[in-house]
A = this chain, B = another copy of it.
Amino acid sequence: MQLVSGKEVSNKVKDEIALEVQKLKNNGSKIPHLAAVIVGKDGASQTYVNAKVKACDRVGFNSTLVQLDEDITEELLLLEIEKLNSNIDIDGYIVQLPLPNHINEQKVTESVDPKKDVDGFHPVSLGKMLLHLPGFLPATPYGIIEMIKHYNIPTEGKHCVVLGRSHIVGSPMSVLMARKDYPGNCTVTLAHSRTQNLDQVAASADILIVAIGKPEFVTADMVKEGATVIDVGIHRIEDVSKKSGFRLVGDVKFDEVAPKCAFISPVPGGVGPMTIASLLKNTLLAVKGK
């Protein structure tokens, strides 16, 4: 069993980006600049955004944090976005989700200039992905693709089952794994809450990508011997044996599934760290696209 370490791959990706930034600096070129918009003081969102800013520092990007009030109107938020769209120093930016209920998330996402859409959530980015055109891939699927590449996991002609059809992970992942490319060229099955015999469907997978949002949902009987398992879930579950009182688990029951796998990504240290690395890669792409 080979561990698919997102920690390791993301460090490699960040090192490569840092090197490219160094070259840009040496040439006197513009330094990539990523901005992040955060509305309100939600703890998890703050943690994610801080990690993104920290990653920018690590690779030498400039970063800007736009902290907005919980009760900002949609109109004013859209004005802030307009400013980021027209600010030529900002190469790309993200709007940290979720947004407060009084704001239409989709409207905000669509108001991001597609040229700066480094989260890859704009319809233009997703449409280009479907058409296999160059563009920004959504960060988490992009990270999974990079991990598969790094470990040379064979994909052509394999049966890939994606569990979960979310707009930001499952659905795009199913599209990417079917494209005429490497990674890709899989026969792809997209399964979800309405799927019948989900256990059997999962067990038919050569490559199982789990983004179903349920702690330790995938058990050993749902995995084929020799399969590759990529676990996108991350959950805090209570654990009195830990000092913190909790531990992190994924959508896969790692201990019992791992022995059956050719490749498996752990939680934490699997897909998680790749998402930020992909965001940085997209930002570099935004600079180059200019």
Residues on A lying within 8 angstroms of B by beta carbon are 106, 122-128, 130-133, 135, 156-157, 159, 165, 167, 171-172, 174-175, 178-180, 185-192, 194-196, 201
Contact (A165, B190) CB under 8 Å given A128-B123, A130-B130: no
Closest to A159 in B: B196
Q: In whole angstroms, how far apart are the Cα atoms of A185 and B192 in the complex?
A: 8
Shortest CB distance A118–B (Å): 16
Most buried by B among A106, A165, A180, A187: A187
Q: Number of copies of this chain in the oligomer? A: 2
Shortest CB distance A282–B (Å): 16
Q: A194, B127: Cβ atoms under 8 Å?
A: no
Contact (A187, B187) CB under 8 Å given A131-B167, A157-B195, A178-B171: no
* Nearest 3 pairs of A and B residues by beta carbon: A123-B127, A127-B127, A126-B127
Q: In whole angstroms, how far apart are the Cα atoms of A230 and B156 in the complex?
A: 27
Q: In whole angstroms, how far apart are the Cα atoms of A76 and B235 in the complex?
A: 56
Shortest CB distance A4–B (Å): 23
Q: Is the interface of A mostly helix, strand, loop or mixed?
A: mixed
Q: In whole angstroms, how far apart are the Cα atoms of A172 and B127 in the complex?
A: 10
Residues from chain B with Cβ under 8 Å of A128 in the complex: 123, 127
Q: In whole angstroms, how far apart are the Cα atoms of A210 and B69 in the complex?
A: 52
Q: B187, A191: Cβ atoms under 8 Å?
A: yes
Q: A106, B127: Cβ atoms under 8 Å?
A: no
Residues from chain B with Cβ under 8 Å of A178 in the complex: 165, 171, 174, 190, 192
Q: In whole angstroms, how far apart are the Cα atoms of A189 and B185 in the complex?
A: 13
Closest to A191 in B: B187
Partner of A123, one of B106, B124, B171: B124
Contact (A194, B156) CB under 8 Å given A130-B167, A188-B189: yes
Partner of A187, one of B127, B179, B190: B190
Q: B130, A122: Cβ atoms under 8 Å?
A: no
